[in-house]
Chain A
């Protein structure tokens, strides 16, 4: 793997988008760029294809790959999707997941923006140490945290409410978001702020009117990151939510579609598909923005 990448990388590096692609001939590009890229896309998308095709497969075709081609469907069915949408609480789970992820993202962004601004621009005493500590917060594995955390969630009367997740998800979102934003904020020239101070603006005004607009790309990156992690979270959602209609997609889909030792594969895969498509659509709008926006962090 490494060998292949090393040998391929040099030519690739020269082929920067605006750079010197014209120097490489077309056949060479096919071998060094398009074929590897096609393989990447194939491998990355294959499981997704597999989910899609399973979601539309009737149960009878599901495990008959001795006598049929598993890559294709003979008689596609909407039964699995139908089952998921109308026989389970999937719409409610979807709504919950959307709500919780969005809220957790906003809470995290809000806290991270303030923290990152304080660390990067206000430069209070001990800012670097605080930054380090926030980073260390990432070291805590949720797989054990959830029991003591459950007591706290109970004590705060948050059990079985969306708030339990909205307030606990930021624990693993804030560190990364803060970190990313520190990079952005540092890149903003101090002169801009100084001018504003001279004009008599408060810190908050500076943050909202000057710094934030310049850091929008960073906010989007951090937001996307936070949203995706919230969307996928499993342990906390499993532990802190018990009512069926309050569940999130990953937990709900598993609970509803695994009956003892029988996996309802078609519907499970339909759940995976429907559970990720909306995010995928959002991403397809944002991805270019995301890519170009992350550049801010690099200049740290």
Chain B
């Protein structure tokens, strides 16, 4: 669908990257780049966004939107849908050519129907220059066929969530950064009867997060740069062997875990280590219950350990704003996005959502939220640390289909639980992925 490759990313991102190199603070850059977007007369917008992850997110977003309406007179209707239901909604909109003007989609959504979207290259370049450049992976998500077809907002990061006491008791002062250390930690926690668990069920967020990280971290990947399926590789087998050892330390039931299970288990004190967004910490910290706040005090985060691949290999829930071509007010929509992406608004919003979503623009790394509470700091790097869906191939419907079919998650789950040998699981995954990639 797209013949986009890394060279293109560099080409488009070159200006942004150069700006990033010299950028001091975002504030200092304010004067330089400009963009003029003239909204259509009498414009009205309908915006569909995922249902908030944390309460502050929605409050700040609505407040920013009201500010936009005050400034421009453009009425904006904000609708919500629970985050997993956004995809069907966006799919219907793309297919029937009617619906909300702007939809905040996930992962490869904009690459499935790029010709239904309004190009936003000028806006993306402007924002990139102004705010320290887009992360390279943001360019992957935003750019299709050399053109920005969606505007990356950020990602809901995934990090190790652990109980400080339990990890110390297991003999680790610091959370391990490497794979042998991580396995030893899990084994020690298991010996001490402290729960370890990562979602292996068909969970859109957590299941994909764990499986992709584990496989990629061993240098394995679903497809190569050209989109040839290369999952059946020695690296994959190594990853699956590791997953097997790891699985032995898990508490029962992880094969059925969806996105919600680890949150609840952790907050009930049944888990001492899992991977999740910041929501566990957020609910514990804001709870009225003293026992929950005690958990928050004993809780900390760490970035996912770095494996044999020698680099961070997370996959986080990336969200992009898409303006659909059927909109009658493309300029008003662009102006709305520009306004919402400017630091005055983003800062307030990041603040209110206590870092649940890590912005895709590099300048926002310096936002005080990331350092005001050291427990939040790992999430600062979520966008930087991630690879894109369908790494390292092109994004498009094959990558979306493979992920939607949980090929990676199923492979890890099968091998980890011993339902198949790592070799069989990898063969099976290759066979399934080939159905999509060879088309």
Contacts and interface: CB of A to CB of B under 8 A. Distances in A.
| A contacting B, Cβ–Cβ less than 8 Å | yes
Interface residues of B, number: 45
Interface in B71-112: 77, 79-83, 85, 88-89, 91-92, 95-100
A243 interface: yes
Nearest to B54: A259
Nearest to B276: A261
Interface stretch (B45-53, B128-136, B306-314): B45-53
B279 A262 contact: yes
A239 B259 contact: no
A147 B92 contact: yes
Interface residues of A, number: 25
**Residue of B46, B79, B291 ringed by the most chain A CB atoms within 10 A:** B79
B287 interface: yes
Interface string A139-151: 0000000110011
A232 interface: no
Interface string B227-264: 00000000000000000000000000000000110111
Interface of A: 59-60, 63-64, 66, 146-147, 150-151, 154, 159, 238-239, 242-244, 254-256, 258-263
A261 B259 contact: yes
B48 A261 contact: no
A47 B110 CA distance: 41
Contacts of A244: 79-80
Contacts, number: 89
A261 B292 contact: no
Nearest to B81: A255
B79 A239 contact: no
A258 B51 contact: yes
A60 B88 contact: no
B96 A261 contact: no
Contact of A260 (B54, B88, B95): B54
B344 interface: no
A239 B93 CA distance: 10
Contacts of B262: 261
A260 B85 contact: no
A154 B205 contact: no
B268 interface: yes
A5 B138 CA distance: 62
B53 A259 contact: yes
B365 interface: no
B373 interface: no
Contacts of B83: 260
Contacts of B91: 147
A256 B51 contact: yes
A261 B88 contact: no
Contacts of A254: 82, 85
A151 B96 contact: yes
A64 B265 CA distance: 10
Nearest to A79: B288
A150 B55 CA distance: 32
Contact of B51 (A150, A242, A259): A259
B267 interface: yes
